[in-house]
Structure 1
């Protein structure tokens, strides 16, 4: 399919104003490529009908954003499936800075999406965003890991991971920024990357005790919406950590302070050894925001073997730490020798 045919799909293309010089068209190619990278891909392709110079300019745009017409909302996968196939075919392997795919609907062909992502890897993409709204979309078991020397930022939204193969980023040595939004981790044992500097996991569900292994992490934002709290491995370079655990988390028990109520059938209590879940991994941070429900025994259990927060200068806690008793607050303060600022968010819910 030609670029002109792709351009005719959807609304009519814009035409240049009559009279006067084409000042925009006189700009250098590199600047035009940068400008085009901010537009939805459907609009970028339509520029091929503006003038002869624009005929192939879209093929070298540094960014492809497959989104809704307003540039923000998701687009139905079925409405753009053929368009994206032809777009990537005609574009070839021109270098690509950013690929954004924002879809809605429950019938998304993930095999095809993975082919698009592989094509982007061949184009040395540096920033990859895959955001899905609506019904959860599964990455099937055995989904191969990403392989890229150029990828620096990855954003995934609305994905269900069925194992940890895809979440091993050892073959992405330049990856520094990972954002996982409203994702579910089914039978996922580990999320690992040696190169990560910034990790955001928001609205997450963990069916099992996943381990997060990112030894060079500098900034962590973790919100567990449901399931088991993940184990944090050592993070010696950590500067800021923001951790919130919702009340729907399974690591709760109204009858236990330290993770063992004595009922063998209790799903809330820890059954898997005595290692630290959260605090040991957070012990090297300089600033910490840590909020949880009062029924969350995991942190109280970690406090029985509380590490020393040798670099912690700023600490923000909620009422969990002093209700119904002040022991958790007293304990963490005793193990924070250089603390300069403490903020208590009392009755924050």
Structure 2
């Protein structure tokens, strides 16, 4: 570019102002640069993917690599409809109410872009997954955080007050980063508030099969929430295929028709071979999901024990494969996380990335990795601690 005139104007749209890069992905790059064990991004090891699902994808690459219908492969939409009726007790029409997206994140983004108007309030619970706040801002919405850090419980009065100025409620259960599972009583409160304020509810249920609490319920099983809810989920976590980018969005036809407009013009369709493999994944027997829960529960317990032994203060989650932990120094969370990856060889995520105001006193670990990797990470933490 030498010799060319540079742009003499502000760069970046209003939508991107105030939005920074993903901290989670930054910490993955830090892990690579420092040859550290990556416990920052929720990436399982390759051997976690069911062999039959990988084989189905391999076969599909040779046979079917062109576009599917924009809304998704008909066979996959039918399988999603059937499975989710079994799992959640709600029947979604495969043709008009099930959309296959490029991952759950695209499903959430398309939903917010389609259903959130400029200035609309969007209620969500903090700490929250870091992409929700930029997604709300990209859609022109007004973030309304409800901090549940203390006690990890929903305050009914606070929720009602916040919802009075909102049009959408964004809910993640089991929750990333805390692993909180919203209780049946809390979901009842959410259902009542959503009805009173006529809210659209957007749920991220990507960890729906990684739960350790028998009280777990999908929000659409509660009251009449299904009639006003967009469910965003997919293959990434349940089948350990985070790079395949196949999401499922289930919603009443009126809501689906709107979000499909954004999906159509931004993504066209999710990767065809991986959609084909999704049909195989959804045909796995019920004991697959029992085994998934059991293996992650064992890793959760070992990670919790190991972090305690290393002098940290972890909070044991009821779902997902993340664990928040406090540390005993005066460093801010970003400084602590960077020292951890560079000096102890373990990458984690500073907790501030999960809050709108960017302040926190804890970090997030993932236990999505296999047992030997987790053991090595715990050993490094114990041997290299300065806290």
Q: Considering Cα pairs closer than 8 Å and 6+ residues apart, tell me whether 1 or 2 has the greater RCO.
A: 2
TM-score between both structures, scaled by the size of structure 1: 0.26
* Structure with higher helix content: 2
Higher strand share: 1
**Larger-gyration structure (1/2):** 1
TM-score by length of 2: 0.24
